[in-house]
C-alpha cells in the first residue's frame, strides 16, 4: 500500500509529519527491528520510539536496512525522565542519534513534565539548543498539561511543535486539544485504542458493523477525522495492516460525535500531574 494514502500534518515550523505512524512502546528490544521492518513494508513512514523504551537501536537498524531514503521516514524519540538536567539532556540526545545511527532526528520530545523534579523549563531550554543545532527538525513535549505549557510560553522561546498525550474514546481530552490548537501545537494521541480497552464498546462495535470495518479501524479513523496524529502499536502483522487501512472510508459526523460522547475521563496510563518516576539511567 502506498504511503501517499497517509495525510501529512504541517507542524508550526513547516515540517510535515505523516498523520499515521507506528508506535514501539513495549516491543522488546530484540523484536523491534523486525516489527519496524514489517511496518515499513506495509507502508508506514513514521515511527515513534523513546529513550525509555530501550529499543531505539532496533528502530535505527530497520530504517537503515529498509532501503527507503532516510528523509522519507519520520522518526520521533523522547528524552528519558532520567535526563532532565540541561547537560544530561544534551548528552542523551547525542547518544540517541548514535544508537539510531542517524545524523538527524525528525522530532525529539520531553517525555514527561515530572512536576516534582521541577526542572522542565530548563530541560526545554536544552531542547531549544538541540533544535538550534539543526540535529532535530522539530522539538515538542509529551504529557504536558496546559499549566505546564503556559510556563514554557512565558519563560522560553520555541513553541513546542507537538504535545503527545493519552487520547482515546474514554479520554477525549477536548480541553487540552483546544489549548494545543489555540497555541499551534499539534496533538499526538498515544494509546489511540487504549491498548484494546475500547474495542468491545457496544457503540464502537455497532459503528464498525455499519461500516464493515473493525472496531480498531473505526477508533483510529475517529482520531484521523479529529485531526490527531496517531501511531498504534502492534507486533501482529495482520493488525499492522488493519491499522494502516484507514483512508478508504469515512465516518459520518454523527458517528464521530457518538464516539466522542463515550468520554469518561478514564486514563490507562499515568497522570502527568502526579507521575514523577525517574529510571536509574
Ligand X SMILES: NC(=O)c1ccc[n+]([C@@H]2O[C@H](COP(=O)([O-])OP(=O)(O)OC[C@H]3O[C@@H](n4cnc5c(N)ncnc54)[C@H](OP(=O)(O)O)[C@@H]3O)[C@@H](O)[C@H]2O)c1
Return the number of the residue (97 or 193) whose C-beta is nearest ligand X. 193
Of the candidate spans 9-17, 114-122, 123-131, 189-197, the one that interacts with ligand X by CB under 6 A turns out to be 189-197
Of the candidate spans 96-104, 148-156, 230-238, 252-260, the one that interacts with ligand X by CB under 6 A turns out to be 230-238
| 112-151 core/surface letters (b: 16 or more CB in 10 A; e: else) | bbbeeeeebeebbbbbeebbeeebbbbbbbbbbbeebbee
> Contacting ligand X (CB under 6 A), which of 231, 244, 251, 255?
231
Cα–Cα distance measured from residue 100 to residue 193, given in angstroms and rounded to the nearest whole number:
27
- Render 30-80 in DSSP notation, one character per residue: HHHHHHHHHHHHHT--EEE--GGGT-HHHHHHHHHHT-S-GGGSEEEEEE-
Residue 131 a catalytic site member? no
Name the residue among 14, 89, 27 with its Cα closest to residue 233.
27
The residue with its CB nearest to ligand X is 23
Residues 243-262 that bind ligand X (CB under 6 A): 243
Query: Any contact of residue 74 with ligand X (CB under 6 A)?
Result: no
Nine-digit cell at 252?
459520518
State CA 100 to chain mean position distance: 18
β-strand 162-166 against 139-142: which pairing, if any? parallel
Cα–Cα distance measured from residue 21 to residue 244, given in angstroms and rounded to the nearest whole number:
9
- H/E segment holding residue 17: strand 16-18
223 is in an annotated binding site: no
> Contacting ligand X (CB under 6 A), which of 74, 234, 244, 255?
234
CB of 226 to ligand X, least distance (A): 15
Name the residue among 237, 234, 242 with its Cα closest to residue 38.
237
- The per-type count for the chain, helices as H runs and strands as E runs, is 10, 10
CB of 190 to ligand X, least distance (A): 3
Of the candidate spans 18-26, 90-98, 150-158, 244-252, the one that interacts with ligand X by CB under 6 A turns out to be 18-26
> Contacting ligand X (CB under 6 A), which of 16, 25, 34, 57?
25
CB of 113 to ligand X, least distance (A): 11
Contact 150, 108 (CB under 8 A): no
Binding mask 116-145 for ligand X (x = CB under 6 A): --------------------------xx--
Binding mask 27-66 for ligand X (x = CB under 6 A): ---------------------x------------------
Q: Give the number of C-alpha atoms closer than 13 A to the C-alpha of residue 50, restricted to the C-beta side.
A: 22
Cα–Cα distance measured from residue 18 to residue 167, given in angstroms and rounded to the nearest whole number:
18
Return the number of the residue (222 or 231) whose C-beta is nearest ligand X. 231
Of the candidate spans 62-70, 85-93, 115-123, 190-198, the one that interacts with ligand X by CB under 6 A turns out to be 190-198
> Contacting ligand X (CB under 6 A), which of 32, 80, 96, 164?
164
CB of 248 to ligand X, least distance (A): 16
Report, as residue numbers or ranges, the catalytic residues.
Answer: 53
Q: Residues within the annotated binding site for substrate? A: 111
Amino acid at each position: 500500500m502506498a504511503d501517499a494514502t497517509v495525510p501529512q500534518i504541517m507542524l508550526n515550523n513547516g515540517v510535515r509529519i505523516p498523520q499515521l505512524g507506528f508506535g514501539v512502546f513495549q516491543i522488546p528490544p530484540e523484536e523491534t527491528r523486525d516489527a519496524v521492518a514489517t511496518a515499513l513494508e506495509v507502508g508506514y513512514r513514521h515511527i515513534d520510539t523513546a529513550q525509555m523504551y530501550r529499543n531505539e537501536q532496533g528502530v535505527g537498524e530497520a530504517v537503515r536496512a529498509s532501503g527507503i531514503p532516510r528523509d522519507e521516514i519520520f522518526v520521533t524519540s523522547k528524552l528519558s525522565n532520567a535526563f532532565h538536567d540541561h547537560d544530561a539532556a544534551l548528552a542523551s540526545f547525542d547518544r540517541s542519534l548514535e544508537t539510531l545511527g542517524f545524523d538527524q532526528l525528525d522530532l525529539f520530545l520531553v517525555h514527561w513534565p515530572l512536576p516534582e523534579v521541577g526542572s522542565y523549563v530548563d530541560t526545554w531550554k536544552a531542547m531549544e539548543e538541540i533544535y538550534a543545532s539543526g540535529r532535530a527538525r522539530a522539538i515538542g513535549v509529551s504529557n504536558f498539561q496546559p499549566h505546564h505549557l503556559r510556563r514554557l510560553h512565558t519563560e522560553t522561546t520555541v513553541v513546542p511543535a507537538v504535545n503527545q498525550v493519552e487520547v482515546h474514546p474514554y479520554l477525549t481530552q477536548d480541553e487540552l486539544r483546544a489549548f494545543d490548537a489555540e497555541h499551534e501545537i499539534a496533538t499526538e494521541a498515544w494509546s489511540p485504542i487504549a491498548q484494546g480497552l475500547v474495542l468491545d464498546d457496544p457503540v464502537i462495535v455497532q459503528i464498525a458493523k455499519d461500516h464493515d470495518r473493525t472496531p480498531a479501524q473505526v477508533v483510529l479513523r475517529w482520531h484521523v477525522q479529529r485531526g490527531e496524529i496517531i501511531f498504534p502499536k502492534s507486533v501482529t502483522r495482520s493488525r499492522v495492516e488493519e491499522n494502516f487501512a484507514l483512508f478508504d472510508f469515512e465516518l459520518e459526523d454523527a458517528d464521530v460525535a457518538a464516539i466522542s460522547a463515550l468520554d469518561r475521563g478514564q486514563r490507562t496510563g499515568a497522570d502527568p500531574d502526579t507521575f514523577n518516576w525517574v529510571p536509574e539511567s
